[in-house]
Structure 1
Amino acid sequence: MYHDSEFLKGLTGEVVTVKDSVYEESRQEWNRAINKFPLVIVYCERKQDVVNAIFWARKRCVSIRIRSGGHHYEGYSTGDLVLVIDISRLNALELDKQRNILKIEAGAKNTEVYNLVGSNGYVFPGGTCPTVGVSGYTLGGGWGFSSRLYGLGCDSLIELELVNYQGRLIKANRNCNSDLFWACRGAGGGNFGVVVGMTFQLPEPTESTVTFVRFFYVGTTNEKQAQVMNVWQNWLPGLDNRMTVSASFYNEEGEGLGIFASGFFYGSAEHAREILQPFAEVEGFRVELEESSFLEAVKKVEAAFPPSEKFKSTGRFVQRSYSLCELENIAGLVQDPAEGSVYAAVTFYALGGQIMNVGKRDTAYFYRDARYIMSVQSIWTEDASAKENSKWVRERFEYIKRITKGSYVNFPISDLRNYEQKYFGGNAKRLDRVNKKYDPFNVFRFPQGLK
């Protein structure tokens, strides 16, 4: 090993190594269960810093990881002895009100985008957690509380800029590198190169009220969880596109079994109440509906997220209705949480609406016709509980896998066999061809990257 300055020569931006006092904080992901030790972390402040980092890593045969928000469930935006290209400081935003177009640098977070568009009377179909990087969210498809009305995050994307393996800045849109543009709408982050800029077409500015929807049940039992799941699966196919919700069937330390749902309805509280009527027919239903601007609604959602967590979570696509027996099995998954778990849940994320109006071959996001995403998760606080909780999630994932088709790349799980097929379905082969073309030497490889 050269002495540091010689070894790090050529890197620009803020360069952090194990010798720096900020290393411990810099290496952390949002999911504190991820415990990796990169060789070097580079906080890029200009696009040239990204170029220099790629050259440096290739010259020294060091693996590259790309990080914007640091929210990858399995921590693939970091690694042991890798170079982390952190683009979180490349976060400039530009709003063109003439054309309703938003240009962002790829390190921008949900909350930063929401503040800008929301304060200018626009909505943005972004994610729920405030500190998620918009680029990582979008590249994997991007589900949020506006998805059924405005589509997935990737459906608003009209152009991107990417630094490739040669350090060249290339553009991709419908007319230029259109195969790459196709692939970057759903194939997940980390492949092809380092995305440094994105351009979105925003919906027309609107005065419309957003109703922040929350409902829960008092006196929850295993049977009631299965009963509400049944209401959900019958309710969703005819649901008004203006409503997008997620519902969690959980077991929380100290509280026990519960059901909690939240989401947005682009309309009045009164109308939202009518739409939720089927749920009100199950005993113990309680609802809270708050009308506000889009930005105020987003802020209420953001307030619920802690600064970090220790968790394991993953999600699959649901394509069919389940029998009452199957629903009882699904509810049964949370009956016995792992040792040390503070919160264990199965969560349903509503799909359909505008998501289905794009063909499954039109973007890399394949599972357009799925009804909802079913995720299973466990959260813990003590490091000693990590192994037990991870095992608990993996065991339950095996059951969910048997009754679903396809995994959501933004809710990934490691050690998934034939993962390309599971994440990308009928688009997997085409994605491999695009990857060979744009990253022929597999410079941007990671544990579940395109091969």
Structure 2
Amino acid sequence: MTMDRRRFLTTLGTAAALAAAGGAPARALVAFPARSRGWAAAPPDWRSLRDRLGTRLVLPADPGYGTARLGYNTLNDGQRPAAVAQCVSADDVRACLDVARGHGIPIAARSGGHGYLGYGIPAQGLVIDLRRMADVVVRPDGTAEVGAGARLIEVYTALAQAGRLLPGGSCPTVGISGLALGGGIGVLTRAYGLTCDRLAAAELVTADSRLLTASPAVEPDLYWALRGGGGGNFGVVTRFTFATAPAPGLTVFVLGFPAGSVTQVLGAWQQWVAGAPPELWATCQISGGTPPGCRIVGCYVGDPGGANPLIDHLVTAAGTAPSSRTVSPEDYLGAMNFMAGCSHDTLAQCHPTWEGGVLPRAGFVAVSRMLGPAALDPAKVTALMAGRTGVSLLFDSLGGAVGALAAGATAFPHRDSLAGAQVYAGATPLNEDRVRSTVNGIRDGLAGLGARGAYVNYIDGTLPDWGRAYYGGNLPRLKDVARRYDPDGVFAFPQSVAAA
């Protein structure tokens, strides 16, 4: 039995996926800021870039362009970049910037392609596609060198073979770059921290084509910004070094509750995760309806003997017996596969269909909020979801190791949050406006209840005061870093740090 969010939300009545960074549908994109004073209007010299990249530079007339340009969210399929450069090295990235910089076109890096709003596939811009830079090397000291194009299932598989782990998300085709640069909330977050908390160093190409390494000792302000400041703001990261941890045995669990019990379960869940040991992580997933329904999904660092008493405590506090209960011991890779829905025979099958895998793309609208340290009124949250068939509200627990750092220790500011919230609904171009209105209404309702922050990896094109919502008090320092490393706005996009 597999339990990734796509399958969970399909069961709840809506197709779903967990993504990690993003942009906006083509018709919703605002104009890009001016990228440099005096930039020419002439197009880039694609011929010179083709001399270097050969067929790895994909232009609109080339075979394979229709696939090469695609991101994960099908609502962004109308965005047609001027070129997709499939890079295999940092020098390829530098060559791309040398050709495209100065022509006033948007330039964006793409790793997994899961950006909610498609900022990684800018219309009439250059996509620096990092997918082929996907190697993962685990060193004897436990550090992992990870190419910026690696997807999570590739990272998890390589680490598991070495007996190591890295905390991260549950969707197998999400790219490591978007996840880590925006923070990295996942199923081992409370025990091991955010993905960005494990970042030891990053190699990146800056707007002026310099190849830098950012670490605590070298370029420390840039290193700080890369840990939660969001993808695409400061340069193109080409390689990460992560400090991993030994991989222990884990326990995964799923509790399904009867419809009509959301208020009791959510109220109990908030109190439960606030006081839970850091070894326990859990998400409360609410499905809109009449009445709304919910389930709890979690992961515990340890065996079922340690997990079951904690689960029993939640059930007792909720005062409602679950209609189903699954508790299963797993090794690290087994737990990640369980959460990812990868009950397949080979790693390759946990890839998108256009790469020979079995995982499809999806059309969806999703937004986020971050809770404060205080719990939300569960009855009012339930009311927000009443009658909202096809919409899901996901609360992912934080605390534990996340809260051990100060809000300014990294660029990720939400260190005291009880949980992150994501509102998700499947959509097509025909119903997108209606779905977006519904999802935004729930988002704004959560803000009215006290959840006013937001997670930059669930980027939201209509979020009020988005700069402060994403970055809180860290925004001024992030803007200073962006001005230093990209003074001409080469990597500017509608919700870049510089535009906040």
| Shared fold (TM-score, shorter chain, > 0.5) | yes
3-state DSSP class of the match of 2:177?
A: helix
How far apart in 1 are the matches of 2:199 and 2:45?
41
3-state DSSP class of the match of 1:433?
A: helix
1:9 aligns with 2:48: yes
1:360 aligns with 2:413: no
In the alignment, what sits opposite 2:462? 415
Pick from 292, 296, 310 the counterpart of residue 334 of structure 2: 296
Pick from 196, 203, 208 the counterpart of residue 161 of structure 1: 203
235-244 or 304-313: bigger deviation: 304-313
In the alignment, what sits opposite 1:336? 387
In the alignment, what sits opposite 1:266? 301
CA contact (8 A) 1:231 1:278 kept: no
How far apart in 2 are the matches of 1:177 and 1:6?
32
Pick from 401, 404, 409 the counterpart of residue 447 of structure 2: 401
How much has 1:409 moved relative to structure 2?
0.6
In the alignment, what sits opposite 2:241? 199
CA contact (8 A) 2:285 2:392 kept: yes
3-state DSSP class of the match of 2:165?
A: coil
In the alignment, what sits opposite 1:135? 177
Aligned identity (percent) is 29
Cα deviation per residue 1:13-47 (whole Å; 9 max; x = unaligned)?
A: 31112212322222221111223111111111122
Cα deviation per residue 1:65-86 (whole Å; 9 max; x = unaligned)?
A: 1110011112211121111111
How much has 1:104 moved relative to structure 2?
1.0
3-state DSSP class of the match of 1:421?
A: helix
CA contact (8 A) 1:103 1:200 kept: yes
1:209 aligns with 2:249: yes
CA contact (8 A) 1:161 1:169 kept: yes
How much has 1:261 moved relative to structure 2?
2.2
- Name the aligned partner's letter for residue 199 of structure 2: L
How far apart in 2 are the matches of 1:442 and 1:16?
25
Pick from 72, 76, 99 the counterpart of residue 56 of structure 1: 99
How far apart in 1 are the matches of 2:156 and 2:293?
30
CA contact (8 A) 1:159 1:171 kept: yes
How far apart in 1 are the matches of 2:107 and 2:326?
46
How much has 1:448 moved relative to structure 2?
0.3
- Name the aligned partner's letter for residue 237 of structure 1: A
What is the total number of aligned residue pairs between the two structures? 434
1:220 aligns with 2:259: yes
How far apart in 1 are the matches of 2:375 and 2:205?
45
In the alignment, what sits opposite 1:432? 479
How much has 1:168 moved relative to structure 2?
1.2
Cα deviation per residue 1:267-290 (whole Å; 9 max; x = unaligned)?
A: 111221110123323324122011
How far apart in 1 are the matches of 2:201 and 2:116?
26
Cα deviation per residue 1:127-165 (whole Å; 9 max; x = unaligned)?
A: 111011111100001011110000000011010011011
Aligned pair in 2 of structure 1 residues 6, 73: CA closer, same or farther (>3 Å)? closer
Unaligned runs of 5+ in 2: 1-42, 343-349, 351-358
263-272 or 362-371: bigger deviation: 263-272
CA contact (8 A) 1:148 1:242 kept: yes
Query: RMSD in angstroms over aligned alpha carbons?
Result: 2.0
3-state DSSP class of the match of 1:84?
A: strand
Where do residues 50-89 of structure 1 align in structure 2 (5 Å cutoff)?
A: 50-89=93-132
In the alignment, what sits opposite 1:230? 267
How far apart in 2 are the matches of 1:241 and 1:93?
28
Cα deviation per residue 1:101-143 (whole Å; 9 max; x = unaligned)?
A: 1011111111111011111211111211101111110000101
The structure with the greater share of residues assigned to strand is 1
Where do residues 247-262 of structure 1 align in structure 2 (5 Å cutoff)?
A: 247-251=284-288, 257-262=292-297
3-state DSSP class of the match of 1:188?
A: coil
3-state DSSP class of the match of 1:200?
A: strand
- Name the aligned partner's letter for residue 378 of structure 2: L
- Name the aligned partner's letter for residue 315 of structure 1: S
Cα deviation per residue 1:373-397 (whole Å; 9 max; x = unaligned)?
A: 12211113x4312221112111221
In the alignment, what sits opposite 1:312? 365
* Moved >3 Å (runs of 4+): 4-8, 320-323
Ranked by relative contact order (alpha carbons within 8 Å, sequence separation 6 or more), the top structure is 2
In the alignment, what sits opposite 2:18? none
In the alignment, what sits opposite 2:431? 385
Cα deviation per residue 1:417-449 (whole Å; 9 max; x = unaligned)?
A: 332211111110011111111111111111100
How far apart in 1 are the matches of 2:410 and 2:373?
23
CA contact (8 A) 2:287 2:393 kept: yes
In the alignment, what sits opposite 2:89? 46
CA contact (8 A) 2:156 2:165 kept: yes
Pick from 194, 215, 222 the counterpart of residue 180 of structure 1: 222
In the alignment, what sits opposite 1:240? 277
In the alignment, what sits opposite 2:7? none
CA contact (8 A) 2:373 2:416 kept: no
Unaligned runs of 5+ in 1: none
In the alignment, what sits opposite 2:72? 30
How far apart in 2 are the matches of 1:264 and 1:103?
26
How far apart in 2 are the matches of 1:54 and 1:256?
53
3-state DSSP class of the match of 1:331?
A: helix
CA contact (8 A) 1:63 1:82 kept: yes
Aligned pair in 2 of structure 1 residues 32, 359: CA closer, same or farther (>3 Å)? same
How much has 1:226 moved relative to structure 2?
1.2
CA contact (8 A) 1:348 1:375 kept: yes
Pick from 175, 191, 196 the counterpart of residue 149 of structure 1: 191
How far apart in 1 are the matches of 2:494 and 2:68?
21
CA contact (8 A) 2:111 2:175 kept: yes
